[in-house]
Amino acid sequence: MNHQLPIILASASPRRRELLDQIGVWYTVYAVDIDETPLINESPLAYVQRLAAEKSARCVEQLQTHQSVLAADTAVVLGDVIMGKPKDQADALSMLRLLSGQTHQVYTAISLRGQEHSQAVSITDVTFRALTEQEMVAYWHSGEPLDKAGSYAIQGKGSVFVTTLSGSFSGVVGLPLYETAQLLMQYGVPL
């Protein structure tokens, strides 16, 4: 029996919950909303680190808790362009057209707050095959791209677009497990 308090996951993402379940972490969920607009000239690395840190800080502030809080942020990046979640079908198709036949990066930052604040980042290269307009439209109509950075889910139907991946699969899904486990162990959280 674990007598330690659970960590708090500052995220509504079912994918992040599944990944924490996968490594046996005891947690509760308290999702927070923050403005996810990139700052002018903000690098992708600084962007995901800032958002993850803001999410964990907002959670601690709102709950006034002493429990450890874990937050994460994921961005799909092509060149210097940060691709967030699509606003609508036109936005999703525009992103998929840009990713078609290209290698892009997926940045995922994690933020863990307890007595201290620690962060880690995973950067993964993902290469898409060339996509047809018909399959991009069909993919949009599957509903999967709607709440996904870059308009695709590598753990779902979007996996058929990926020819190669170099880095962390779980990081592309939304929570890099190696980096997350390392931080949690530093905080004494059992896995």
Q: How confident is the model at residue 191, as a pLDDT?
A: 86
Half-sphere exposure of 90 (CA within 13 A, CB side): 0
Q: What is the mean pLDDT of each run of 10 residues along the chain (191 residues)?
A: 75 95 96 94 96 97 94 95 94 98 98 95 98 97 94 96 98 97 92 86
Q: How confident is the model at residue 41, as a pLDDT?
A: 94
Q: Is this structure's pTM higher than 0.85?
A: yes
Looking at residue 144, the DSSP 8-state letter turns out to be: G
71, 33 Cβ separation under 8 angstroms: no
What the block records as the tokens of 170 is: 């779980």
- The verdict on whether 73 is a catalytic residue reads yes
The domains found in the chain, sorted by start residue, are 7-186 (3.90.950.10)
Spatial separation of the C-alpha atoms in residues 34 and 51, rounded to whole Å:
8
Please identify which of the residues 21, 33, 35, 73 carries the catalytic annotation: 73
Q: How confident is the model at residue 147, as a pLDDT?
A: 87
154, 99 Cβ separation under 8 angstroms: no
